[in-house]
Chains A and B, each alone.
Chain A
Amino acid sequence: MSIATASPSDTPALQAPAASGQRLFRQVLRRRLRAFLSRAASPAAILLLWEIASRLGFIPERILAAPSQIGATFGALVASGEMGSNILVSLGRVLTGLSISLSLGTALALISGLSRRGEVIVDSPMQMVRTLPFVGLVPLFILWFGIGEFTKVTLIAFATTFPMYLTLYSGIRSIDAKLIEAGRLFGLGHFGLIWHVILPGALPSFLLGLRYALGISWLSLVIVEQINATAGLGYLINNARDFMRTDIIVVCLLAYSLLGLFTDLLVRSIEHFALAWRPSFIKD
């Protein structure tokens, strides 16, 4: 029992570990910083070379603007509010499309995941349609729905329904039969099983599907915004192309990737909260 005997005379001795703890913390910080710098060195060098090449005229502005100019343009676009309003339009398209595909994909997955008859009716058509490349459907959608917002949102919804459906459906079907049996034995009825066993068990797959769907939604946004957009990031890009403003095009591409990163982060934090029971999240 030599561990837990702290008498008052020990107090000075206890300060030494605290000091060394601080030193340790500083050491870790320094190591992290060094690691970050060594990883950032190569991209920074490329940016620097790019900047020099642009300044010396090796890269003409109409091919690719210099990094410094891109930064300045970004600042100007944000300051004028042009960036914010167009991002909101693009974000709105994605969210509308996603909310449709989320509801549709989830409903279809529940139908075919929870009943054999539902599987027969829903699954085979879904498996057939999902192989269609949605980009190839753009002309058909334009013929059907015109070139307005409806076509854009429908295409995003169409493209993202399948990852939602497929992952949730396989998630429902891959739930451990032993858990379902235990649930039944301990008094869960049909709806109790769905609520207490099947849905929570399929939640990880649902969130994975959501992340796939988000990734695809940004991709389809870029494509549908090439169709006669009057607002949104795609509109900015199209305008910039007409005026050979490569700096604006690059800024918009960066905005697309930032939006993608941001929404992915959002789903990750939902996962952290909703899947707290998963061993990978249980760290302590």
Chain B
Amino acid sequence: MLTAKLSVNDTGRLRDETVEPEIVRPAGNTNNAVRARQLSKRFGQNTILDRLDLDIRPGEFIALLGRSGSGKTTLLRALAGLDQISSGDLQVPQARAAVFQEPRLMPWKRAWRNVVMGLHMPQARERARQALAEVGLAHRENAWPGTLSGGEAQRVALARALVREPQLLLLDEPFAALDALTRIRMHQLILSLWRVHQPAVLLVTHDVDEAVLLADRVLVLDGGRIVADLRIDQQRPRSAENHAFQKVRTQLLQLLGVELDADAAAPKPVLHLVPPSPAAPFNLSNYSI
């Protein structure tokens, strides 16, 4: 796998590699999609990421939890190459794509042109159409972004990310601005697309349930370091009513500094996601609320 190496020497002088990453083969057994060692990011006196180590395997779905200000978004931006790191060593795949909390579509480009923006490929329109079909928006390929609903716009943003066949897909709270029902649909969609394309995924979220519902591993970031790394071995689709789910959830909430008393820890009435058959297409009537 080709990876881009973003590194900074220890004297703190930034080398301008985040802009034009140099392509290197990963050394030895580091067969990972992401490999970060002693990664630090400072803004003036503030240390946002503090000598952080992180490995993400190819195709692994990681959820990153943390209180606001814990450095979640900073880490994602460093992995995306949007911000330069202050020191440390970071290897990421060349093919990366991101979906942000807001869709960030160009309002003056029709949906399909947004999807293939910046790509130079033959039959761009055909590729865009396929990608939009994958997210269920084939009929909206000619729509202006201004006419799309929040969920539709976010699906176009997802198509724009996936059409690049990323080895690392970065999701920065992409469901935070969506209503609860749309969010459920998006969870389903993300999982099915992840199964098809198998990118490594880093999902930044503040929603513990979402993290446990989707990820292979949940990381908790605090004070610029990863303070917990929980593997979730439950079969998908997962149910929030499941005892194991509740246990992980409580554990994560404690790590995040939310102490639950006995009452609050009891299973709360949530939308649970147990479709009759995992292969069945999403249909709201399959879900009890």
Contact = CB atoms under 8 A, between A and B. Distances in A.
Interface residues of B, number: 21
Contact of B100 (A182, A188, A197, A200): A182
Contact of A183 (B117, B145, B146): B117
Nearest to B147: A282
A192 B119 CA distance: 11
Given A185-B82, A185-B98, A187-B119, A179 B104 contact: yes
A278 interface: yes
Nearest to B103: A182
B186 to A, nearest CB: 19
A201 B107 CA distance: 8
Interface string B86-114: 00000000000110101010111100000
A178 interface: yes
Given A185-B82, A277-B107, A278-B107, A196 B117 contact: yes
A186 B145 contact: no
A136 interface: no
Interface string B44-71: 0000000000000000000000000000
A178 to B, nearest CB: 5
A200 B104 contact: no
Given A179-B106, A186-B164, A282 B144 contact: yes
Contacts of A275: 108
B98 to A, nearest CB: 6
Contacts of A185: 80-82, 97-98
B108 A200 contact: yes
User: Could you tell me the dominant secondary structure of chain A's interface residues?
Assistant: helix
Interface string B226-252: 000000000000000000000000000
Nearest to A187: B118
Nearest to B143: A282
Residue among A182, A187, A196 facing the most chain B CB atoms (10 A cut-off): A182
A82 interface: no
Interface residues of A, number: 22
B108 A201 contact: yes
B72 interface: no
A187 B106 CA distance: 14
B41 interface: no
B146 A182 contact: no
Contacts of A276: 144
A277 B146 contact: yes
Contacts of B107: 277-278
Contacts of B106: 179, 182-183, 196-197, 200-201
Nearest to A204: B108
B108 A203 contact: yes
Contacts of B102: 178
A182 B104 contact: yes
Interface of B: 80-82, 97-98, 100, 102, 104, 106-109, 117-119, 144-147, 160, 164
